[in-house]
Amino acid sequence: MSRVKPTQAVLALLCVMYFITYIDRVNIGTAASDIQKELGLSNTQLGFVFSAFAYPYLVFQIFGGWVGDRFGPRVTLFWCGIIWAAATILTGFVGGLTSLVLARFMLGFGEGATFPTATRAMQYWTPAAKRGFAQGLTHAFARLGNAITPPMIALLIAFFTWRGSFVVTGLVSLAWVLVWVVYFRNEPRDHPSISPEELAALPVRKAGEAVTTPWRPLFKRMWPVTFTYFCYGWCLWLYLNWLPSFFKNNYHLEIGKSAIFASGVFFAGVVGDTLGGILSDGILVRTGSVRFARLSVTIFGFIGAFLSILPILFTHDMTTVAICLSSGFFCAELCIGPMWSVPMDIAPKYSGMAAGFMNTGSAFAAIVSPLVAGYLIDLTGNWYLPFLLSMLLMLLGAVSAFLMHPERPFETE
């Protein structure tokens, strides 16, 4: 039996991290009904609880990316993991709205630097021709976390109550932290099991290379990417936070059945994430055009998501709506592989910061999208209006994608 290569093991560890972090950030969506009932929260207050995660998550995108570039992924993800695991466990002990908001705030603080720092790790440990695949695969595991979370949390709630479900998932996060800090090395050449063949396939870097911080020039290059990702993030966070409640309240389903419907939608995202990265890398190999490889898949995904969700405005059949939402999520997730490759294409030396700039768009959407959705639902009682707004953002994202230029390396400017 052939051994597992360190590059494969590192990618696997990052996949598990994406999987766990999404469980810890979206488990509240499944437990929301029980939490809302016990703590006496309105939909607007619940929307505020959802968005509380995103305030520190937004702040720590760029700063966390800088920390990952400055101190390396090993120690950065270790401390991030300690914080988000503790926040998840503490959520099981909250006594009201204030403590629940603080626990979610702490979770956002812990997870804020994770994805930009993971991008820095992939920059070191992934061949350039496989960036789309690596980003697509890790985010596919994030969506797998989305898909598994509703039925898994529903089952944990049945056995341990909603409070116990947070304690269990937080302990799993702590286990990942220990494995990560023991196995991972910032520099592939420092790993005891790395082979010369693997090193030769990885990007060439100078040992001890200093990292400066060109904040303003990098922002000028990344703002179109940030805005495009905001459009995607608006749709994503609507799905993550409100989908279980959408099926439960709009179709009067019990929590177990609503979790199953939400899970089916999220599984479509798993396929979309993986396929988007593979398609983007395949187009890059065939055409040699970085711009075409990234933009073609991204724009197709945005337009496909818009067309997929459109029919739910004209039908209320639960099966049809579930299929449309699944197709919309699949198309939206096609964007992930190429979009997360763009920071690595534009600024390899500053990939952590560049990814932080980009993910700031999604983090800001995570604040605004749940609040707007909760307000619209309370105001009108219509659960379809938030999805109508997401459709408009999908069209805007398709247009703004043309402003991105991953074919122009930042370091040469």
pLDDT of residue 1: 38
Closest listed residue to residue 338, CA positions, set 228, 205, 216: 228
pLDDT of residue 205: 61
249: nearest Cα among 261, 239, 258, 238: 258
Task: Please report where in the chains the tokens 């403590």 appear, as a residue.
Answer: 99
Say if residues 375 and 44 touch (Cβ distance below 8 Å): yes
pLDDT at site 130: 82
- CA of residue 412 relative to chain centroid, distance: 30
Residue 210 pLDDT: 45
Give the C-alpha separation, 236 to 247, whole Å: 16
Question: Which stretches of the chain score pLDDT less than 50?
Answer: 1, 208, 210
Domains defined along the chain, listed by start = 6-187+213-412 (1.20.1250.20)
User: Minimal CA–CA distance to 213: which of 408, 405, 354, 404?
Assistant: 354
